[in-house]
Amino acid sequence: MTISRRSVLKNSAVSLAALSLGQRFAAGAEQPIRIGVIYDLSGPFAAAGSVPCSIGAQIAIDLVNERGGVAGKYKVDPINADSQSKADAAINEVERLINQEKVEVVLGVYSSAHAVPLAAKVEEQKKILWITTAVATSVLKDRNYRYVFRGQIHSDQYGEAAAGFLAENAKAKLGADPKSIKVAIIHEDGPYGVGVGEAGERFAKEKGFEVVMREGYSASAPDLSSLVTKLKRARADIISHVGYNPDITLFLRQARESGLRFKMLIGNGAGYSQLDKLRATFGADIDNFCNIDPVSAQLLDPKTLAPGIGDLTKVMVERYKAKTKATDVPPHASMGFNQTWVLLNNVLPAAKEKYGGFDAEAIRKAALDVDIPPGGTIQGYGVKFYPPGTQLAGQNERSTPAVMQFAGEHIAVVWPANIKTQDPVLPLPGSSIYAMR
């Protein structure tokens, strides 16, 4: 059969049109970005802040996907894992995510005790570990990692914040010079507690406070009465406590039963950031306690932040409350959301556009390019990672903590001065069951 030239041209045009249509369809249905997400969804760390972190991270993922995905077209497919509050489970799950699920980036990690071995393992495989929560300075200090990033504050900053807050209020609120104020530091004995405790002692001494005691204990200890007895003998004015949830509950219960008295208790994140759970157990007993952590986003004045950040915070808070029925949104929810949002909106689009893909090497290069000024995130601080070859390579150099105080059923920011929402109540009022008489 003879085929005319006109038929050939017509059929070719149809084929080209079909090919073009297929290409447009493929472009509109890009392969999703698979990201490993690991948190403690069971075990003691779950109630100490890990679950709120995971919820915050998922809200960020949902929002990005609702807007079309990363760069408006690449949906995010989270591959979730439960580290069960166990280091060996965390290691096994991350190995599964990398070797079986073939993810290029793992996001999350609540516990510093998990972050230390995980950082080394993920670095060895040249995949990205994007830490949202674990704070121990030792995770990154002097490691010179290239593939591990943390937008969160680190443990040295907790001690620095506590010392700065107390020094600024010593005379005005306590009527004394730092040298006459006794500070006791107690902490769980994992990397988180040891890191914050060591920094607390170091910075307190630098400010001239008398550190009368620093002691660690196991977070799974069944009895802390001997620790309480030592604190009573030391007669510390200020107690700095670094703990999770069960151990904080045990300590406060035994402190109340034994009649321990102090002028202020300063918590350091983790269990002390779970106000709903503490209030459910202790009611008004915890009123006016302080806590150091990255600030809960909803406590910041939107006018001090970049345009649109306040609206983003509002959506995050509404969705968190709708999901959990919580009265307050803990700082951990902001941490999980904030660090995930930065990865999905500031890093991954640049990895694709500038470095050609979503592989670990492209993500690593894009992360080092991030330059968000102060006020550019929902937690108020900016983002710029220390580069390889520096002492804290991979750490966000612009992260900042805040001192918050339990004010009834809510939380107020009392330090630093530029973001505080009320003056601190210091010392504890006489109505407190823990107040020095």
Contact 208, 179 (CB under 8 A): yes
Neighbours of 129 (CB within 10 A): 30
Distance CA 211, CA 218 (A): 21
Most distant CA atoms of the chain, gap in Å: 109
The upper half-sphere exposure of residue 215, i.e. CA atoms within 13 Å in the direction of its Cβ, equals 13
For the residues 253-272, what does the mean pLDDT come to?
Answer: 94
Tokens of 391: 């002492």
Residue 25 binned pLDDT confidence (cut-offs 50, 70, 90) = very low
Preceding peptide of 427 cis, ω within 30°: yes
H or E stretch at 407? strand 402-407
- The per-residue pLDDT for 48 is 83
15 pLDDT above the threshold of 90: no
First to last CA, the chain: 109
- Per-residue confidence (pLDDT) for residue 6, from 0 to 100: 47
Closest CA to 118 of 203, 108, 352: 108
∠ CA(107), CA(220), CA(55), 5° rounding?
30
Q: Which residue has the higher pLDDT, 193 or 19?
A: 193
Tens-place pLDDT, residues 336-389: 999 999 999 999 999 999 999 999 999 999 999 999 999 999 999 999 999 999
Instruction: Please tell me which residue, 426 or 418, carries the higher pLDDT value.
Output: 426
| pLDDT for the residue numbered 292 | 95
Percent pLDDT > 90 in the chain is 81
Q: Give me the pLDDT at residue 29, please.
A: 63
| Domain 33-153+305-369 matches domain 156-293+401-415 at the CATH topology level | yes
Cis ω for the linkage preceding 32 (within 30 of 0): no
- CATH placement of domain 156-293+401-415: 3.40.50.2300
> What are the backbone angles phi and psi of residue 148, rounded to the nearest 5°?
-115, 130
More confident site: 301 or 118? 118
User: What stretch of H or E contains 60?
Assistant: helix 51-66
Mean pLDDT check: name the lowest of 23-37, 149-163, 293-307. Answer: 23-37
| Average of per-residue pLDDT values in the chain | 91
Query: Residue 48 burial (CB < 10 Å; 0-12/13-18/19+)?
Result: buried
pLDDT-based confidence at 20, cuts 50/70/90? very low
> Per-residue pLDDT for 9 more than 80?
no
Work out the pLDDT band at 76, boundaries 50, 70, 90. Answer: very high
The domain locations on the chain are: 33-153+305-369, 156-293+401-415
226-249 per-position pLDDT tens digit: 999 999 999 999 999 999 888 999
The CATH number of the structural domain formed by 33-153+305-369 is 3.40.50.2300
Q: Which band of pLDDT confidence, cut at 50, 70 and 90, is reported for residue 326? A: confident
Percent of all residues in the chain with a pLDDT value above 70, rounded to a whole number: 93
19 falls in which pLDDT band (50, 70, 90)? very low
Per-residue pLDDT at 22: 46
In whole angstroms, what is the distance from residue 4 CA to residue 7 CA?
A: 5
Amino acid found at 11: N
Alpha helices in 260-325 (DSSP H): 275-282, 309-324
- How far is Cα 49 from Cα 47, in angstroms, rounded to an integer? 6
pLDDT per residue as tens digits for the range 44-60: 999 888 999 999 999 99
Comparing 178-192, 361-375, 417-431, the range with the smallest average pLDDT is 417-431
Rounded Cα distance between 64 and 33, Å, is: 12
Span 80-107, pLDDT tens digits = 999 999 999 999 999 999 999 999 999 9
Question: Does the pLDDT of residue 18 top 80, yes or no?
Answer: no
Contacts of 388 (CB under 8 A, 6+ apart): 144, 145, 146
Q: What pLDDT score was predicted for residue 169?
A: 96
